[in-house]
Structure 1
């Protein structure tokens, strides 16, 4: 059964603190991982397979519900039939819901993994009813010292996504940080202090959320874009436990009861027992159980890394319009985004160029919270229609 130790929880009389099993980063463990470099993994979510293997109408809608994307190109069949695609398509980041590539390659049981970023390239649209398969290769392992937990590892993998014709839809390099939970907890680099919003701040956030601009069928011509142009922000927050739950339902899924218990018995470090309820919980619940997050040395329950990456993708597709195509997106996850935080997804045009007959725009993108801290940083490249091409 999953292992766990407990101590008295000072702030809650009669309760106990969750202390997740803490593994060690050992030279033996590192050597075993290095021996697997270059090998191909069997991509599986929760040990049971891919999540959305089919880009069905429902799967696309559920994904969009989970990230809060109301673009009719992904929802409305009648609308989509009038576009150049002739049918519904999925947002580029829908591929996260097929398989979440985060450098997750196993090994080092009990050593926590934090998704730290992705470097994406897309090659063609994801059409409704595409059948998607995945191939992942373990490509990188790097040792570093950090303020957060001392000795850490950075694991990376590269994943390719194929449609039913064997065409590459996209590829990504994902990486994660592996850190000892005990070391992170003892150093306490991050503390949790809920932000106290004023009523005016909440009203301003709600106005920004509802003021989202979807470019849609109005082409954004390459010729009209200027270096320095700012993208209309996409605002997410204050993030709730419900937002996280909706994302899990649409993008990651889960397992329960006997299926979960068997997975925990195969991999004891994959889960823990809540000392206050007796319930068996998957380790991924650090994202919505405050005490579990604190036990891993984190400031509090926080978003999924791929969730925030999808928000950045939402920013890009809103701006690009129906005739634009997101070719590349590089995202680094710099800080934790805890429940109650608000993220302003922003971007600016940094360059324009022509390459292989395509009209391209380069952008800097970032996520900024209510404390004006940059939590996410990256770049993107979008292909736009050209007036000269007769679009």
Structure 2
């Protein structure tokens, strides 16, 4: 028994698990490649009900009436509200597999969308472990690997709705903690009252293009997207995202339900030295102490939460008649509590693709107050044409 645990903890300590890469671990993970994974403990919603959609939109700060206003929805080509493409995360954000004792950061997202989600749709996720690269050495956190989960989302009619390739970096937490000071920045960010006032004015000025079509013919290479601003990121923003049904892997639970799970899987939790409460590893997104154990400065955002913000920007620009066909994004640096991120993009190409869709290709970005692009990426959007 270590000094960090007590006899009542049953293996739960005030530290996060600190595993090491071993040949045995790597071989076990190779043996898992191609395995379809269990999802029951990570499903948050099955049905796209009106309230489930509304709660999710509120949790990502997207009040586009196409998702939230039933009367407005009746006037659109859908005849009702639909869910934003990011709603798949409210059904199942992701799951964890293997790598006992190692830390992890969501590193990259690739998504392809096939069709919209309508009210009443039942969404079922299929998740397959597609393998990993490495281990390799990095300056950020020492030895690391990059793994891949393929997540397919199907509706009740057996139609594929979306595919999400979730890539995470896995690392030894001890090395991340050792290098934490080398990444130190001033936090929380020292905003002035004047800066906060301007940020909030920018947020309130945002609006979706809505019922005014953005025709493919009218878009030119070099056009800039209207921006969307998120922040200063606060604790309630993270709580709202969880309450929206997104992200936790597995689902967050409380009291006896949680205790029984943690006694069965001690490495899912740690004991907070301040409150003495048991907390899940996921609390790195709202608990500064947990974040420090992960090698971060303070609590930080969720990778797919950042992707939701990017999709908010894209769907605002595309209009009700546009359709986000695919996106790609890499997560660079943490977005910490108190940070502000401005999401935007530039049209870099337009063409008729192999499916016959009139598309525009967009180089996307997410710039924080330190002028870092914390989510460089790309997107393909199908737009209506004047000949339709």
Q: Is the 8 A contact 2:15 2:271 kept in 1?
A: no
SS of 2:245's equivalent in the other structure is helix
- Per the TM alignment, residue 291 of structure 1 is displaced from its structure 2 partner at its CA by 1.4
- Once residues 238 and 323 of structure 1 are traced to their aligned partners in structure 2, the CA distance between those partners, rounded to angstroms, is 31
The reply to whether residue 119 of structure 1 matches residue 110 of structure 2 is yes
Q: By percentage of residues, which structure has more strand? A: 1
- Per the TM alignment, residue 358 of structure 1 is displaced from its structure 2 partner at its CA by 1.4
Q: Which whole-Å deviations, capped at 9, do the CAs of 1:297-330 have from their partners, x for residues lacking one?
A: 1121000111101000100110011000010011
Q: Which whole-Å deviations, capped at 9, do the CAs of 1:128-152 have from their partners, x for residues lacking one?
A: 1100111111002111211122111
Map 1:269-308 to 2 at 5 A: 269-308=267-306
Q: Which moved more, 1:339-348 or 1:139-148?
A: 139-148
- Once residues 115 and 263 of structure 1 are traced to their aligned partners in structure 2, the CA distance between those partners, rounded to angstroms, is 24
- Per the TM alignment, residue 266 of structure 1 is displaced from its structure 2 partner at its CA by 2.3
**Partner residue of 1:248?**
242
**Partner residue of 1:150?**
142
Map 1:344-359 to 2 at 5 A: 344-355=342-353, 356-359=355-358
Q: Is the 8 A contact 1:18 1:291 kept in 2?
A: no
The TM-score normalised by the length of structure 1 is: 0.92
- Per the TM alignment, residue 105 of structure 1 is displaced from its structure 2 partner at its CA by 4.2
SS of 1:299's equivalent in the other structure is coil
- Once residues 145 and 96 of structure 2 are traced to their aligned partners in structure 1, the CA distance between those partners, rounded to angstroms, is 12
- Once residues 29 and 264 of structure 2 are traced to their aligned partners in structure 1, the CA distance between those partners, rounded to angstroms, is 19
- Per the TM alignment, residue 193 of structure 1 is displaced from its structure 2 partner at its CA by 1.7
Map 1:182-261 to 2 at 5 A: 182-188=174-180, 189-194=182-187, 195-252=189-246, 254-261=252-259
Q: Is the 8 A contact 2:364 2:377 kept in 1?
A: yes
- Per the TM alignment, residue 21 of structure 1 is displaced from its structure 2 partner at its CA by 2.5
- Per the TM alignment, residue 376 of structure 1 is displaced from its structure 2 partner at its CA by 0.7
Give the 4+ runs in structure 1 shifted more than 3 A: none
**Partner residue of 1:26?**
22
Q: Which moved more, 1:123-132 or 1:191-200?
A: 191-200
- Per the TM alignment, residue 18 of structure 1 is displaced from its structure 2 partner at its CA by 4.9
The reply to whether residue 178 of structure 1 matches residue 170 of structure 2 is yes
Would the alpha carbon gap of residues 61 and 377 (structure 1) be closer, same or farther in structure 2, given more than 3 Å must change?
same
- Per the TM alignment, residue 345 of structure 1 is displaced from its structure 2 partner at its CA by 0.5
Structure 1 gaps of 5+ residues are 7-16
- Per the TM alignment, residue 158 of structure 1 is displaced from its structure 2 partner at its CA by 0.6
**Partner residue of 2:381?**
382
- Once residues 79 and 156 of structure 1 are traced to their aligned partners in structure 2, the CA distance between those partners, rounded to angstroms, is 39
The TM-score normalised by the length of structure 2 is: 0.93
SS of 1:174's equivalent in the other structure is strand
Aligned Cα root-mean-square deviation (Å): 1.6
Q: Which whole-Å deviations, capped at 9, do the CAs of 1:336-360 have from their partners, x for residues lacking one?
A: 0000000000111011001232110
**Partner residue of 1:14?**
none
The reply to whether residue 99 of structure 1 matches residue 98 of structure 2 is no
- Once residues 279 and 318 of structure 1 are traced to their aligned partners in structure 2, the CA distance between those partners, rounded to angstroms, is 41
- Once residues 168 and 318 of structure 1 are traced to their aligned partners in structure 2, the CA distance between those partners, rounded to angstroms, is 24
Q: Which whole-Å deviations, capped at 9, do the CAs of 1:89-119 have from their partners, x for residues lacking one?
A: 0000110111113xx4422222111111210
**Partner residue of 1:128?**
119
- Once residues 186 and 197 of structure 2 are traced to their aligned partners in structure 1, the CA distance between those partners, rounded to angstroms, is 22
Q: Is the 8 A contact 1:149 1:187 kept in 2?
A: yes
Q: Which moved more, 1:248-257 or 1:74-83?
A: 248-257
- Once residues 267 and 145 of structure 2 are traced to their aligned partners in structure 1, the CA distance between those partners, rounded to angstroms, is 18
- Once residues 4 and 88 of structure 1 are traced to their aligned partners in structure 2, the CA distance between those partners, rounded to angstroms, is 55
**Partner residue of 1:169?**
161
Count of residues in Structure 1 that have an aligned counterpart in Structure 2: 373
Would the alpha carbon gap of residues 281 and 293 (structure 1) be closer, same or farther in structure 2, given more than 3 Å must change?
same
SS of 1:291's equivalent in the other structure is helix
SS of 1:387's equivalent in the other structure is coil
**Partner residue of 1:9?**
none
Q: Is the 8 A contact 1:5 1:20 kept in 2?
A: no
